[in-house]
Chain A
Amino acid sequence: MLTLSERDRAMLAGDRGPAAQLAMSIVVRMAAVYGASELMDVSQAHIDSTIYLGDATLEFAERLTSLGARVAVPTSLNVSGVDECGWQDWAVSPEWAAKAARQMLAYERMGASPTWTCAPYQTKMRPAFGQQVAWGESNAIAFANSVIGARTERYPDLLDVCCAITGRVPAVGLHLTENRAGELLLRLERVPQALQEDDQFFAVLGHLVGKLAADSIPVIDGVSVQPAEDQLKAFAAAAASSGRVALFHMVGVTPEAPTLEAAFQGRTVPAATTIGTADLRAARQELTTADGRDLDMVILGSPHFSVAEFRQLAPLVAGRRAHPRVKFLITSGRLMKELAEAAGVLAPIVEFGAQITLDTCILASPMLPAEIQTLMTNSAKYAYYAPSLLNTRVTFGSLADCVRSAIEGRVVRDESVWQTA
């Protein structure tokens, strides 16, 4: 049975205005779905409902703003459906751009911070360990819970904004310590160090873990390298695309898993499912749907390219030029581009021939012209969704492979570490 606090009941009765009342009515109905006995406070939110899909998403946002909706907690905004400053360079229709911009305006009017990124954890809105938050966006949810140790349920679009407006969430699921213990043990076995050091490794592992985890919390044991933050970002995004992973523990890497025992909160550790090199090779193969010949575009930045990734890319492209037949696109956030510019790493990337799209991505904005049919990427998330959403074929490769391919105008992959492994 759900018991509401006095403040919850007042909000539900309309004391904080009609928008908060509507949002609270949805939160309360969802509390019943989750089987919650009470609501709890969150101190921050990330809204994924910003993605414009069509009239329904726009009507929902504008209904809330017409009722005077304001967010009750510091709130970041996910990608939108349009790069407001650059859409004219692409195949976006003026009608789409106008409606997507209206949806952006609706969420800005609620008082949210215009971060416009799917990697809010790499902005000043990054939550702290243990902080209770309400986040949407599958990759961000997995990252916040697992890599930072902040606490969010897997919030869907349309609910995330209701949580932001009310500042209240059902007290269930991953908000509670006891529900954050590992449930499934996956162990790397005889996976060579060289393979684990390859920059595709964590994206590939994430793709595989997402499929193996089904609806449980996976614990990954046997990782013998210390992944960089952007590698964990790639892992989280991949696992939340091929599966529904909202929290994972990586023993010796993520904060709630200093040891195997800690990852399971001292409960019985289940028998391990092993992951070997052959499994990883097969998972990597699944991410490639192109036949390896033509290449129309290299696409980087799902989740949004970070300043560290710009830094990594700059020396690879410095003094080189992308092949005139191949587009080279990076999707990122406003802040990341500013930081890259300030760090002096943007210039060589632009000189190389790269284009940069901000605030959105090729999956959220209908920007690619029809002639772009074959993509290459180092993002497992792009590789997972682009074939279905964009009807394109994709080659998955390392960052260095992507750069070399763009220069040569055809797909080139260094297979050595994957073949000999």
Chain B
Amino acid sequence: MADRVIAGRPIVEGAAEGEALVTTEALSFWGGYDFHTGEIIDKHHPLAGVRAAGRILVVPFSKGSSTTTAVLLEAVRAGTAPAAILTTGVDSFFALASIVADVMYGKAFPVIALEPGDAAVLRTGMRVSVERSGAVRVLPQRHGDTEQSRPR
């Protein structure tokens, strides 16, 4: 079967590949993300306790604190940031964090805007690649890929 490809709009260009982590609830990284561990810690959020480091985070938009960007910059420096962030619509906070990560550490992460209908196709556990063009490719599942099937 051919890979499924979603045409996203690159807000900050870049390539990444990883396991999708999908939520329909907005997230504040300050008070919501522990950059020491890469874990989502907002107790009001459905993904509380889930590790997002290295994953393709699909979240509608940022909410809450202005310090979200600074937490993400710390996470990039510590190697605990998501591999890419996919939003519905343009999210300036995630874009800014990636741009400053580029300026400071030469480590931008892709920030891609998707149509809400396209974002709804993505599921946690899917293997996904993000291309510089903004194309998001759903890759064939490799056995033993998902978080759930991994021994904890």
Show the binding face of A for B, using Cβ within 8 Å: 22, 25-26, 29-30, 33-35, 48-49, 51, 53-57, 59-60, 63, 136-138, 141, 153-160, 210, 214-215, 240-244, 286, 289, 363, 384-385, 387-389
Interchain nearest-CB distance for B112 vs A (Å): 12
Stretch at the interface among B89-97, B122-130, B131-139, B140-148: B89-97
Pick the contact of A215 from B12, B89, B104 — CB < 8 Å?
A: B89
Secondary structure at the A interface, as helix, strand, loop or mixed, is: helix
Pick the contact of B64 from A30, A138, A157 — CB < 8 Å?
A: A138
Interchain nearest-CB distance for B63 vs A (Å): 4
Interchain nearest-CB distance for B87 vs A (Å): 10
Query: Is the C-beta of B1 less than 8 angstroms from some C-beta in chain A?
Result: no
Give Cα distance in the complex from A60 to B104, angstroms.
7
The reply to whether A244 and B66 form a contact with Cβ atoms under 8 Å apart is: no
The reply to whether A157 and B66 form a contact with Cβ atoms under 8 Å apart is: yes
The reply to whether B67 and A157 form a contact with Cβ atoms under 8 Å apart is: yes
Give Cα distance in the complex from A9 to B30, angstroms.
34
Show the binding face of B for A, using Cβ within 8 Å: 11-12, 26, 28, 31-32, 35, 41-44, 48, 60-71, 73-74, 76-78, 89-90, 92-93, 95-97, 99-100, 103-104
The reply to whether B104 and A157 form a contact with Cβ atoms under 8 Å apart is: no
Q: A154-B66, A389-B31 are in contact. Are A56 and B99 (CB under 8 A)?
A: no
CB-CB < 8 A to B99: which residues of A?
26, 29-30, 33
Per CB-CB distance, the 3 closest pairs between chain A and chain B, nearest first, are: A244-B63, A156-B69, A157-B70
CB-CB < 8 A to A55: which residues of B?
74, 77
The reply to whether B95 and A33 form a contact with Cβ atoms under 8 Å apart is: yes
The reply to whether B70 and A158 form a contact with Cβ atoms under 8 Å apart is: yes
The reply to whether A388 and B42 form a contact with Cβ atoms under 8 Å apart is: yes
Q: A30-B99, A60-B104, A388-B32 are in contact. Are A138 and B65 (CB under 8 A)?
A: yes
- Closest B-chain residue to A240, C-beta based? B64
Interchain nearest-CB distance for B32 vs A (Å): 7
CB-CB < 8 A to B62: which residues of A?
244
Q: A60-B73, A158-B100, A241-B65 are in contact. Are A388 and B31 (CB under 8 A)?
A: yes
CB-CB < 8 A to A136: which residues of B?
66
Give Cα distance in the complex from A231 to B127, angstroms.
47
Q: A60-B73, A388-B42, A388-B43 are in contact. Are A34 and B92 (CB under 8 A)?
A: yes
Give Cα distance in the complex from A363 to B26, angstroms.
20
Interchain nearest-CB distance for A266 vs B (Å): 26
Apart from A56-B104, A137-B66, A363-B31, list 8 A-B contacts with CB within 8 A: A34-B92, A53-B70, A56-B76, A59-B104, A60-B104, A141-B66, A160-B66, A388-B41
